[in-house]
């Protein structure tokens, strides 16, 4: 990074020195700076909006390198340089450009091999969406989903996670939900659990990334995993930002499930803010219930209780939960609703056979041992998003 910054800093003085005999210094500086600023503006817009979603990070990086090599080659015709130096520079530019073209053609094959080694299992699907890199691996009977290199679920133990996410909330509701809202959850696994309830009339599933919902409706391995939930007539898929959807929605839901990635950056962090949970509260019907994925109360203890405090500040009564998921360790959720919500004592009839939850494990979800008990934590507001910094700091300790 220091080397790149140094070379970028040398670019403008070098151009000014090369062209100092062709133009007046005042005009020269103005032209060079104007072109530099215009180029930087165009690159900053084209990179994230056009190239990255279509080509991915590796090909986009190589393409920009190729463009720089071609610009350098063109500059040998424009700059007043010695003839011998010109031909040497042109040869060097040509070699670099040829190497970059070769890498552009074959980079994806190399990336797949590297990713297979990184993930430790054969890759059955990989895709770069406008929002993230999606990788699916399969080893034996185990299927795993990775988004931007982070594990989202493993088929070995995902039922522990999704049963805990869905069924205690339905039990706390006290009746089968008629209309449910799933925010995130584009894999259809939470929807699969909800569809066990015959009284359910409709699920609105809101996910930002159309690529995720598409592959979980089309890849046979994933269809077996989610039971074809996303193709069920009762499931309405909306491709939209969850925050904006809640701002514009007018329906009242019996049950809201927020199943987002952890708040590791500000783009996701806004979905864990006070203003977001206030929007959730507005969309809940009378005696409605919500449940939120809330990271690990063990590995990110302050972050978990910050989410709890933020939900409380939005006017909810909270019932924190946790479950052990082998792929992740101890994982936390926040069940919440109006003042009348109570810790459920039993599950509602509906699911024919749950892999993990029963009366005993249901009660254990709500018991927090001393090393996961509540600690002081700030309310996460949209104006500061303290949760993101806390989350990065806490998980960073475990990554060392």
> Which residues 6+ apart lie within 8 Å of 364 measured at CB?
none
Report if residue 258 sits inside a domain: yes
Q: How far apart are CA 21 and CA 340, in angstroms?
A: 81
Q: What is the CATH number of the domain that holds 231?
A: 3.40.50.150
Q: Are residues 314 and 231 in the same domain?
A: yes
Report if residue 49 sits inside a domain: yes
pLDDT score, position 365: 98
Q: Whose structure tokens read 């969309």?
A: 283
- ∠239-383-251 over CA atoms, to 5°? 35
Gyration radius of the chain over CA positions: 26
Report if residue 288 sits inside a domain: yes
With both helix axes pointing from N to C terminus, report the angle between 301-313 and 274-283 in degrees, rounded to the nearest 10: 50
Report if residue 174 sits inside a domain: yes
Range of the domain at 395: 158-399
Report if residue 153 sits inside a domain: no
Q: Whose structure tokens read 């005696």?
A: 287
The one-character DSSP state at 79 is S
Q: Whose structure tokens read 């803010």?
A: 273
229 to each of 32, 162, 246, 289, 335, how far by Cα in Å?
57, 14, 23, 22, 23
Q: Are residues 86 and 217 in the same domain?
A: no
Q: Are residues 101 and 171 in the same domain?
A: no
Number of helices (H) and strands (E) in the chain: give both, helices first: 14, 11
pLDDT score, position 52: 63
Residue 329: CA count within 13 A, CB half-sphere? 10
H-assigned helices in the chain: 2-19, 25-46, 52-78, 83-119, 158-173, 189-194, 210-215, 220-226, 242-248, 266-269, 274-283, 301-313, 359-364, 386-399
Quick count: other Cβ atoms within 10 Å of Cβ 316? Answer: 25
Q: Are residues 213 and 262 in the same domain?
A: yes
Q: Choose the final residue of a domain: 61, 92, 117.
A: 117
The number of domains in the chain is 2
Q: Are residues 109 and 201 in the same domain?
A: no
Report if residue 36 sits inside a domain: yes
Quick count: other Cβ atoms within 10 Å of Cβ 364? Answer: 12
Q: Which two tokens stand for residue 312?
A: 């409380």
pLDDT score, position 3: 60
Q: Are residues 282 and 379 in the same domain?
A: yes
Q: Choose the final residue of a domain: 87, 117, 147.
A: 117
Q: Choose the final residue of a domain: 68, 97, 117.
A: 117
- ∠323-329-331 over CA atoms, to 5°? 40
Q: Are residues 278 and 350 in the same domain?
A: yes
pLDDT score, position 195: 95
For residue 339, the Cα-to-chain-centroid distance in whole angstroms is: 32
Global confidence as pTM = 0.79
Task: Catalytic residue, from 259, 262, 358, 371: name it.
Answer: 259
Q: Are residues 110 and 162 in the same domain?
A: no
Q: Are residues 182 and 305 in the same domain?
A: yes
Q: Are residues 198 and 59 in the same domain?
A: no
What 3-state class would DSSP assign to 253?
strand
Report if residue 56 sits inside a domain: yes
Query: From the first residue on, what is the mean pLDDT of each consecutive set of 10 residues in the chain (400 residues)?
Result: 56 58 59 65 69 67 76 70 75 84 71 70 87 90 91 95 97 95 97 94 97 95 95 97 96 97 95 98 94 98 98 98 96 96 89 86 97 97 96 89
Q: 357, 163 in Cβ contact below 8 A?
A: yes
- ∠130-135-136 over CA atoms, to 5°? 135
Catalytic residue status for 259: yes
Q: Are residues 61 and 166 in the same domain?
A: no
Q: Are residues 208 and 320 in the same domain?
A: yes
Report if residue 347 sits inside a domain: yes
């Amino acid at each position: 990074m220091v080397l790149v910054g140094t070379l970028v800093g040398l670019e403008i003085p070098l151009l000014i020195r090369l062209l100092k005999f062709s133009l007046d210094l005042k005009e020269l500086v103005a032209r060079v700076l104007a072109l530099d600023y215009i180029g930087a503006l165009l690159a900053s817009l084209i990179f994230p909006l056009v190239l990255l979603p279509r080509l991915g990070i590796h090909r986009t990086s190589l393409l920009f390198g190729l463009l720089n090599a071609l610009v350098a080659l063109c500059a040998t015709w424009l700059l007043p340089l010695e003839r011998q130096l010109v031909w040497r520079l042109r040869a060097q530019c040509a070699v670099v450009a040829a190497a970059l073209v070769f890498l552009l053609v074959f980079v994806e094959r190399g990336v797949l091999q590297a990713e297979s080694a990184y993930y430790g299992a054969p890759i059955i699907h990989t895709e770069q969406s406008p929002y993230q890199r999606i990788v699916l691996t399969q080893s034996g009977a185990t299927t795993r989903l990775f988004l931007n290199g982070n594990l989202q679920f493993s088929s070995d133990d995902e039922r522990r996670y999704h049963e805990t996410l869905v069924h205690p909330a339905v039990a706390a509701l006290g009746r089968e939900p008629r209309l449910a809202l799933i925010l995130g959850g584009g894999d259809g696994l939470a929807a699969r659990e909800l569809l066990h309830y015959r009284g359910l009339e409709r699920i609105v599933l809101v996910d930002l990334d159309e690529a995720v919902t598409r592959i979980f409706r089309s890849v046979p391995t994933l269809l077996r995993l989610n039971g074809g939930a996303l193709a069920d007539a009762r499931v309405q898929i909306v491709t939209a930002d969850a925050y904006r959807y809640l701002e514009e929605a007018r329906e009242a839901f019996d049950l809201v499930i927020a199943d987002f990635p952890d708040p590791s950056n500000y783009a996701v962090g806004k979905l864990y803010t006070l203003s977001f949970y206030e929007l959730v509260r507005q969309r809940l019907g009378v005696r409605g219930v919500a449940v939120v994925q809330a990271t690990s109360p063990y590995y990110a203890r302050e972050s978990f209780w910050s989410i709890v405090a933020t939900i409380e500040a939005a006017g909810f009564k909270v019932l924190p939960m946790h479950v052990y998921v082998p792929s992740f360790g101890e994982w936390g959720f926040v069940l919440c609703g109006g003042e009348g919500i109570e810790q459920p004592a039993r599950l509602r009839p509906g699911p024919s056979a749950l892999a993990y939850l029963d009366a005993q494990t249901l009660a254990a979800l709500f018991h927090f041992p001393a090393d996961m008990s509540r600690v002081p934590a700030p309310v996460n507001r949209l104006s500061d998003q303290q949760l993101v910094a806390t989350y990065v700091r806490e998980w960073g300790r475990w990554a060392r």
